[in-house]
Amino acid sequence: MFDAQPAILATAGNGPGQGHIYKATAAGAQILADANAPATAGDTLVIYSVGLGAVTPPVTTGTASPSSPLASAAGTVTVTIGGQPVNPFFSGLTPGFVGLYQVNVVVPSGITPGAQVPVSLSVGAKSSPAGITMAMK
C-alpha cells in the first residue's frame, strides 16, 4: 500500500491549466470540458488523475486494471469544482490502463460559469496541486 499523492492530469502534460476532465455522454463518448464544450449542471464528468493510493480489490503493480470487479480507491476521495464540494460516485483505477485513475462526478448546480473554473481532488488530508481548470457555462 502506498500513500496517496493526488494529481489531476493536465492536457498540457505538466503543471496548471486545462485538466483531463471530460463530459460523458449517454452514448459513452467523452468530450473535453473546455471553452469549446463547457460543462453544465447535471453533466457527468470523468476526471483523469494519478496518485489516489491503494485500491480495493488490490491490483498488481504494472498490471492493467480489470473492468470487473472495478478497483475502487480505498481512501475517501473528494472533489471541489469552483470551490464547491462534490461527492464522486466512483473513484478508482481506469479499466484497461496501468496506474490511471478516474473520478466520476455529476456537476451540481450553483457553480459560477467561466473558462477556467478550478478543480481539485483530495484523498484524506492530501490535495491535488492547484491550477487545474475546466470550463463551465
- Say if pTM beats, i.e. exceeds, 0.85: yes
Give the CA diameter of the chain.
Answer: 41
Residue 110 pLDDT class (50, 70, 90 cuts) = very high
**Of the candidates 121, 123, 122, 111, which has an alpha carbon nearest to the alpha carbon of residue 21?**
121
For 55-84, what is the mean pLDDT?
96
- Among left, alpha and beta (phi > 0; psi -120 to 50; other), residue 110 is left
Residue 1 pLDDT class (50, 70, 90 cuts) = very low
For 1, the grid coordinates are 500500500
Q: What was the pLDDT predicted at 62?
A: 93
Domain boundaries, the chain: 7-125
